[in-house]
Amino acid sequence: MIVTQAQTLTLLAALILVSGAAALVWTSLAFTARIAPRASLTVASANAATALALALHALRGTLPDALAYWPGDVLAVAAFALLGAAVPAVTMRRLIWKPGAAVVAACALTLAALPYDGDLRWQARLVNAAGAGLALTAGLAAWRSLGRWASGRRTPAPLALPLLLIAALMAARCAESFVHPGAAPDLRLPTGFNLGFLWASLVLVLLQNATLAFLVLMRLILRIEHLLDRDPLTDTLNRRAFDQSLALAHARFGRGRGYALVMIDMDRFKQLNDTLGHAAGDAALRQMVKELQPCLREVDRFGRLGGEEFCVLLPDTGLAGAALVAERMRCLIDATPLRWLEQDWPLSASFGIAEARPGDSGPDAVLARADAALYRAKHQGRNVVQG
């Protein structure tokens, strides 16, 4: 097959246009639509760096060497570093930029020490090796983080595959520089390898942007699901979501897995609201929820049933275990008064506990016993645990 320079230049131009267009789209998502702004801006920067690096490469011999060579190579490495930072920015909302920045800085200093005249094979090897390393590291990290992020959902870790393919492509180009060192530094040369490399790069740029767009969409969906399940004031489960968890626990109880409930009601909450105002009451509820978090396991479910009444679902726990948890919770609330308008307001709560029994017709029976125990705790003087 005869490869012409027009073919390589056309593909190079297509890569520049696609990367530039992707940068504009992601920038619009960040600033206009306000969709995952930090993650979208990171992806936009990666695409912009790619487009500019390729444009500078295409203009070698036209622009002054000081503008076309060293800046283009540094931008190419920066593009891979930004791409590596994009996935955790999407999945974990963390912009992990320092390792990539260190690689870019090291490459920039090394490239500045290399002469940009005559043989440029070592510059090409450094850029391609750095790109392969950054993409591989990002791909492996993405594989792990996507597995954790999905948490049982149908979001497969292989969505990180485009990054691994990019790493393989850059590694192949680095290896090719040892086989054909004269042709490796220039993507414009009409060689079969350059043609295949540019086609693969074009496909992977499209695939990577599509994958990141899908991950942003998944992040939005998960956020909406979170908001639908959560109480807006305390960020505990709302009544609907808690009832679903309780029904699931009772279904498991039928298969031999017990559970217990801890009902919680803040004492003298109306008095607090009437004296300090509803804003103080909201602050007291948020503080109570925060104080109780260390008592909860990952499998436990903490929900707000309404007003100042909450309930904790403790899977695989009996009445004795629920009593220990409730007593610890009671002590934590009692030990931390609400600080409001330069004064301390004492907080306490009453607790009712119950466990599932074989004769229970459904979860409502367990909930009713816990509520009755809470009623007894209130009438015993409050700030006690009753079962």
Q: What residues are labeled active site?
A: 308
Helices (H) and strands (E) in the chain, counts: 13, 7
Instruction: With beta carbons less than 8 A apart as the criterion, state whether 194 and 3 touch.
Output: yes
Sign, CA torsion 189/192/196/202: positive
Residue with tokens 């004031």: 233
What b-and-e string marks burial along 176-190, b requiring 16 or more CB atoms within 10 Å of the CB? bbeeeeebbbebebe
Q: What count of other Cβ atoms lies within 10 Å of the Cβ of residue 218?
A: 19
Task: Residue 230: name the closest of 242, 219, 217 by CA.
Answer: 242
3-state class (DSSP) for residue 51: helix
Sign, CA torsion 53/57/63/67: positive
Instruction: With beta carbons less than 8 A apart as the criterion, state whether 385 and 323 touch.
Output: yes
**100 phi and psi angles, rounded to 5 deg:** -65, -40
d(C-alpha 160, C-alpha 23), whole Å? 20
Helix (H) or strand (E) holding 266: strand 259-266
Amino acid at 70: W
Establish how many alpha carbons lie within 13 A of residue 193's alpha carbon, considering only the half-sphere containing its beta carbon. Answer: 18
Residues 6+ apart with CB under 8 A from 94: 88
Q: At what angle do helices 5-31 and 192-229 cross, to 10 degrees?
A: 20
Q: What is the length of the chain?
A: 387
